[in-house]
Amino acid sequence: MAGALVLTFAVAVAATLYVVTPRDPAPAPPGQAPEQVPAGWRLVWADEFDGPAGPPDPAKWNLVDDHLGYNNELEYYSPRNAAVDGQGRLVITARSDDAGGHDCSPRVCAATSARLFTAGKFVQRYGRIEARIKLPEGQGMWPAFWARRSPQGSGRGEIDIMEHLGREPDTVHGSLHGEQGYDEQNTYRLPGGGRFADDFHVFAADWYPDRISFLVDGQVYATEHKADAPPGGWDFDVPYYLLLNLAVGGDWPGPPDSTTRFPQQLIVDHVRVYASAADPPR
């Protein structure tokens, strides 16, 4: 998310990285064909959010418990607002009815929500990073699926695989933020006036040493090239960690208004990371 700089979280982070190992896809339910690994890729890390209802897998995700204060946002991130639903999905819920019990100084909290990240547990350099997500709706909603330079606070590098403003129901953005003022933003709109809140869509970035492409439902809609960045601006040759969050308010989306309905949910069916099939397993 543009504007977020050094990340300091009030959470416990594991001291070692999650060991990534290719694994076979889980068996498909009766009558449903198993999902195939995309041609040219090899699965190295995934969370399918299977298993019983409860907190997200602590071996894979950290949860923020703080008002980070970035971008003049109005949410307090609480671990209670992220849960696996027992039906194979992660649900991040933005609520307004419990916001008064939290401190968002110097502003007043408008909502609680959740922010998950993999720093200290999993990082990746190059490959395909994807998630299948159903987005929330409404003025002031700002969901994001993104990646930051590892380790935390080591640089400005940011890959925004998907950002969405609730006031633009048919639109998502894919962006890069590097050094030397390098900022590139791209926009994708659903055809036919569709709304991202109505169904799941797969958001992905294909990350190569010389370029990064942004995809929605398998369709490349933009590609940024290293050769076009200013000297020292391309900050995408080191490992990055993943983030999922649902922000409320902020400089870009603006605050919720009288049309905004709470609670709102960001629902994630899976997160998967692939490496090139030509690269040897780590």
Reply yes or no on whether the pLDDT at 131 is more than 90: yes
pLDDT the model gives residue 282: 55
Residues facing residue 172 across a β-bridge: 188
- SS3 state of residue 198: helix
Domains of the chain: 41-276 (2.60.120.200)
Active site amino acids:
158, 163
**Predicted confidence band at 236 (pLDDT cuts at 50, 70, 90)?**
very high
Q: What is the mean pLDDT of the chain?
A: 88
Sheet holding 115-117, edge to edge: 62-63, 115-117, 240-248, 141-149, 158-163, 171-177, 183-189
Which of 1-10, 15-24, 93-102, 211-220 is predicted most confidently?
211-220
Cite the beta strand spans of 99-210 per DSSP E: 111-113, 115-117, 127-134, 141-149, 158-163, 171-177, 183-189, 201-208
C-alpha separations of 130 from 41, 53, 163, 168 in Å: 12, 23, 13, 22
**Lowest-confidence region among 21-25, 185-189, 234-238, 256-260:** 21-25
- Residues of the chain with pLDDT > 70, as a percent, come to 87
Question: What would the pLDDT profile of 12-48 be if each residue is shown by its tens digit?
Answer: 333 333 333 333 334 434 333 346 788 889 999 999 9
Sign of CA dihedral 102, 105, 110, 115: negative
C-alpha separations of 243 from 56, 213, 232, 246, 262 in Å: 13, 18, 25, 10, 23
**Predicted confidence band at 281 (pLDDT cuts at 50, 70, 90)?**
low
pTM recorded for the entire structure: 0.86
